[in-house]
């Protein structure tokens, strides 16, 4: 994961309206009023190009969507945005997506529904994975454009006519994961293409709050709090390992086998800690099993504490490595580190030999847990 997103933000549902009837956010950010001109922008895109408002001068309708990678609501709408673009691009409609979030203002425990964060490099990964054919732009550096438009949540849609006057601001439609009954953005586009007034000009937005830079301090505080969590090490027997893998819980279990004398084992620990902090608020739990020799428990605990591994940590005291392998996973060839994901009921859905590939592992986790609030 890029160092720009090591911290992740609180992802809260947003329903914000100020006393003047315009949506308002902390810090005085207000949504652009209907009839206002589209604020200019100059932002980097995931395709390596710089994108400006003038680049869309030929479009009859311009749709500006503020969205992001990590938000469950935003992810629920990704396929709909792809479809909307595909179905309207040849009718004179231009669609551009902008990520408003400061990656350093995002808390790790709010990345529980995603495999990537909100930094620019991660945006490139998501755009490729979802095959975005529209520009996906990064505003996390200054957030100037997001403030100018008044992007309160992800997603937040702004639709402009040919003269680049705002004719619709609000949600894409009325439901991210349930049956849609009001296609608000689509209705606005169709009205503008037909030369008719937009039937509903403003709607409330819902999704994850925009992660403004003033939330960086809170994100740092969360890291300090987690680093102070207690770290313990206890023994586990052969039968204990078998029970662990049977996984009679309702949670996805990550089990990592390691040793203090194994360089890659220690090197990958910070990534494992990050993964645990990302997903542990969901149906997920992490276990480590040290295979250090008897009498080396103190050293193992020391390494765990140095890396703030506040998961459930075990030292295998049940016999040989072969005994452990048969109890844990008969397919384990022996080298460490070794990492598996065990679904409820005991099915191993992921095996990772040697140092973990963080994106691959996170993807396996989130594909099992789900990316939207429908999979809570």
The residue among 239 and 11 whose pLDDT is bigger is: 239
Average pLDDT over residues 126-147: 98
What pLDDT is recorded for position 10? 35
In a domain, 224, yes or no: no
CA distance 295 to 293: 6
What pLDDT is recorded for position 23? 39
CA distance 347 to 350: 9
| Boundary residue ending a domain (166, 194, 217) | 217
What pLDDT is recorded for position 267? 98
CA distance 310 to 109: 14
**Residue that is written with structure tokens 């008044």 in the block:** 150
Q: For the stretch 70-105, what's the b/e string if a residue is b when 16 or more beta carbons lie within 10 angstroms of its beta carbon?
A: bbbbbbbbbebbbebbeebeeeebbbbbbbbbbbbb
CA distance 293 to 259: 9
Q: Are residues 26 and 162 in the same domain?
A: yes
Q: Are residues 56 and 143 in the same domain?
A: yes
Q: Are residues 212 and 245 in the same domain?
A: no
Considering the chain, what percentage of its residues have pLDDT values greater than 90? 91
H or E element that contains 73: helix 72-88
Tens of pLDDT, residue by residue over 314-326, are: 999 999 999 999 9
Average pLDDT over residues 357-371: 98
Q: Are residues 178 and 253 in the same domain?
A: no
Contacts of 27 (CB under 8 A, 6+ apart): 212, 214
227: pLDDT strictly greater than 50 = yes
Q: Are residues 84 and 166 in the same domain?
A: yes
Collapsing DSSP to helix, strand or coil, 127 comes out as: helix
What pLDDT is recorded for position 376? 65
Q: Residue 336 sits in which domain range? A: 229-375
Average pLDDT over residues 241-254: 98
Tens of pLDDT, residue by residue over 282-327, are: 999 999 999 999 999 999 999 999 999 999 999 999 999 999 999 9
In a domain, 222, yes or no: no
Q: How high is the mean pLDDT of the chain? A: 93
Q: How far apart are the first and last CA of the chain?
A: 24
Query: Interhelix angle for 72-88 vs 184-193, to 10°?
Result: 20
Q: Are residues 147 and 17 in the same domain?
A: yes
| Boundary residue ending a domain (217, 244, 270) | 217
Collapsing DSSP to helix, strand or coil, 340 comes out as: strand
331: pLDDT strictly greater than 80 = yes
Q: Are residues 45 and 103 in the same domain?
A: yes
Tens of pLDDT, residue by residue over 269-281, are: 999 999 999 999 9
What pLDDT is recorded for position 28? 79
Q: Are residues 86 and 136 in the same domain?
A: yes
Average pLDDT over residues 173-179: 95
CATH code of residue 364: 3.40.30.10
6: pLDDT strictly greater than 90 = no
What pLDDT is recorded for position 20? 30
CA angle 286, 71, 359 (to 5 degrees): 45
* Domain tally, the chain: 2
Tens of pLDDT, residue by residue over 19-67, are: 233 334 556 799 999 999 999 999 999 999 999 999 999 999 999 999 9
In a domain, 223, yes or no: no
In a domain, 71, yes or no: yes
How far is residue 341 from each of residues 83, 133, 136, 335, 337, measured CA to CA in Å? Answer: 34, 34, 33, 17, 14
Average pLDDT over residues 83-95: 98
341: pLDDT strictly greater than 90 = yes
In a domain, 122, yes or no: yes
Span of 11-20, 318-327, 338-347 with lowest mean pLDDT:
11-20
Tens of pLDDT, residue by residue over 200-225, are: 999 999 999 999 999 999 999 999 99
Beta-carbon count within 10 A of 370 CB? 16
Q: Are residues 333 and 367 in the same domain?
A: yes
Q: Are residues 348 and 295 in the same domain?
A: yes
């Amino acid at each position: 994961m890029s160092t720009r997103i090591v911290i992740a933000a609180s992802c809260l549902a947003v329903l914000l309206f100020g006393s003047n009837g315009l949506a308002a956010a902390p810090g005085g950010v207000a949504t652009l009023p209907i009839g206002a001109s589209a604020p200019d922008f100059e932002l980097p895109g995931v395709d390596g190009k710089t994108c400006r408002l003038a680049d869309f001068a030929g479009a009859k309708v311009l749709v500006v969507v503020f969205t992001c990678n990590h938000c469950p609501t935003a992810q629920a709408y990704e396929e709909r945005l792809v479809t909307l673009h595909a179905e309207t691009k040849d009718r004179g409609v231009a669609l551009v997506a902008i990520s408003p979030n400061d990656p350093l203002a995002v808390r790790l425990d709010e990345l529980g529904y995603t495999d990537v964060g909100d930094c620019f490099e991660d945006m490139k990964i998501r755009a490729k994975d979802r095959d975005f054919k529209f520009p996906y732009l990064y505003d996390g550096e200054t957030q100037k454009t997001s403030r100018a438009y008044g992007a309160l949540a992800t997603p937040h849609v702004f639709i402009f006519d040919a003269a680049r006057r705002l004719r619709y601001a609000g949600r894409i439609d009325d439901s991210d994961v349930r049956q849609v009954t009001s296609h608000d953005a689509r209705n606005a586009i169709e009205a503008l293409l037909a030369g008719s007034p937009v039937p509903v000009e403003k709607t409330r937005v819902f999704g994850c709050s925009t992660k403004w830079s003033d939330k960086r301090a809170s994100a740092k505080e969360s890291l300090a709090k987690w680093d102070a969590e207690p770290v313990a090490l206890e023994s586990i027997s052969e039968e204990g390992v078998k029970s662990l893998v049977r996984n009679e819980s309702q949670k996805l279990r990550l089990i990592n086998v390691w040793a203090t004398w194994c360089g890659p084992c220690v090197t990958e620990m910070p990534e494992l800690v990050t993964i645990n902090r990302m997903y542990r608020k969901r149906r997920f739990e992490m276990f480590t099993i040290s295979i250090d020799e008897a009498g080396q428990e103190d050293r193992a605990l020391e390494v765990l504490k140095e890396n703030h591994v506040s998961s459930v940590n075990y030292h295998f005291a049940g016999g040989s490595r072969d005994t452990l392998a048969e109890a844990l996973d008969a397919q384990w060839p022996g080298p460490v580190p070794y990492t598996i994901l065990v679904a409820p009921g005991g099915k191993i859905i992921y095996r990772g030999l040697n140092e973990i590939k963080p994106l691959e592992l996170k993807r396996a986790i989130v594909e099992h847990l789900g990316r939207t609030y429908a999979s809570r």
